[in-house]
Amino acid sequence: MVKYSLKRLVYMIPVTIAVVFIVYLIMYLTPGDPVALMLGAEATPELIQETREALGITKPFLTQFTNYVVNLFQGDFGVSWYTGREVAERLFASIPYTLILTFSGMFVALICSIPMGVMAAVKQNTPVDYIVSVLAICGVSAPSFWVGIMLILLLAVEFQLLPSAGIDGWTSYIMPTLTMGFNMLASVTRTQRSSMLEVLRADYIRTAKAKGVSNFNATYKHALRNAIIPAITVAGINFGTLMAGSVAIETVFAIPGVGRLMIDSIKLHDTPTVVGCMVFVALMVSIINLVVDLLYAFIDPRIKAQYIREGGSK
């Protein structure tokens, strides 16, 4: 188990380097001069050239890339080409916002979608099932930034219950969280419903009922435990999408998170900041995938046995 996790953690190193390479290359090919943007219209060509050299932008691509990676593995995210200050400073200041948003969105989605999916499966082909299905298909299809705008219209403009933008106490997180949760709610609900439908028809559920287990216990103790794995997989897979979606949601609600920082930095050609944001997102996605894989082991002893076998054989 530990061996398996370690192997996966080590595997993140080449992935991170590759992500840095891709993003650095894209930013390198981006036309426009970050230094001219930073210094403004009055800067003399000499000053621009001097600053470019001081920041190391004049060096060839591979040198810049290697330097960045070497520094990154020493925990140094480099210096912003726009503000001239440490990238880590701004990045770590915006990470909490994005993390709170993503995890609370995921939490809301999970606690709503699993009961909804179970209900839809238990009451298959009844109005409950239809309502859940329509909600789910709308959730998958509705653009999250539009859902956010509609929530603002309803809760901030019409009823004036919540602040419409910015971060000012915990109430500011309610609407962004709901917006984020709504999107994910849909995909998890659909998966939970279909896997529950499958499990409810399994032989062991019939056996359990024949032995006299109550309907409630058969559904929630025997079936749910087996049917929940695909839902958790989907939640895990969607984590990346959720994080990426925070870009739009942070724009709608004016939240100074990682997504906002990245968009702003892209517009300013601030390569170190953009790469820093991307590395953070890629690492988060890899870690969550690992956590999801480990979660299976706790839910399903068969998978745990498999991990132990794999870890032991190598």
Partner 1 sequence: MSKANYQDVQKKYKKKSRLSEIWRQFRKNKAAVFGLVVLLIIILAACSADLFWDYQKDACDLNIPERLQKPSAEHILGTDEMGRDILCRLVYGARVSLRVGICAATFALLVGGTLGCIGGYYGGKVDNLIMRVTDVLLSIPGLLLAIAIMSAFKTTEFFLALALGISYISKFTRIVRSSILSVRDEEYIVAARAIGAKDSTIILRHILLNCMAPILVQYALAIGTRILSVSTLSYIGMGIQAPTPDWGNMLSGARTYIRGNSYLVMGPGMALLLTICSFNLIGDGLRDALDPKLKK
Which residue's CB is nearer to partner 1, number 51 or number 98? 98
Rounded to whole angstroms, the Cα distance separating 55 from 79 reads 8
CB of 46 to partner 1, least distance (A): 28
CB of 246 to partner 1, least distance (A): 10
Q: Which stretch binds partner 1 (CB under 8 A): 66-74, 100-108, 210-218, 247-255?
A: 247-255
CB of 117 to partner 1, least distance (A): 16
In sign, the C-alpha dihedral spanning 84, 88, 89, 95 is: positive
Burial of 13 (0-12, 13-18, 19+ CB in 10 A): exposed
Look-up of token digits 């330097």: 67
User: Taking CB under 8 A as the criterion, which residues in 143-162 touch partner 1?
Assistant: 143-146, 149-150, 152-153, 157
User: Taking CB under 8 A as the criterion, which residues in 252-281 touch partner 1?
Assistant: 252, 262-263, 266-267, 269, 274, 278, 281
Helix ranges (H only) for 154-223 are: 174-200, 203-210, 215-217
Interaction pattern, residues 282-311, with partner 1; x per rule: CB under 8 A: x--xx-------------------------
User: Taking CB under 8 A as the criterion, which residues in 105-144 touch partner 1?
Assistant: 137-138, 140-144
Q: Angle formed by the axes of helices 87-122 and 224-252, to 10°?
A: 140
Cα 128–Cα 133–Cα 137 angle in degrees, nearest 5: 155
Which residue's CB is nearer to partner 1, number 17 or number 39? 17
Which residue's CB is nearer to partner 1, number 22 or number 54? 22
- The residue among 88, 256, 22 whose CA lies nearest residue 264 is 256
Does position 19 interact with partner 1 (CB under 8 A)? The reply is: yes
Q: Which stretch binds partner 1 (CB under 8 A): 27-35, 41-49, 59-67, 88-96?
A: 27-35
Which residue's CB is nearer to partner 1, number 209 or number 230? 230
CB-based contact 228:189 (threshold 8 Å)? no
Rounded to whole angstroms, the Cα distance separating 269 from 50 reads 18
Q: Which two tokens stand for residue 130?
A: 């239809």
Among 240, 292, 294, 295, binds partner 1 (CB under 8 A): 240
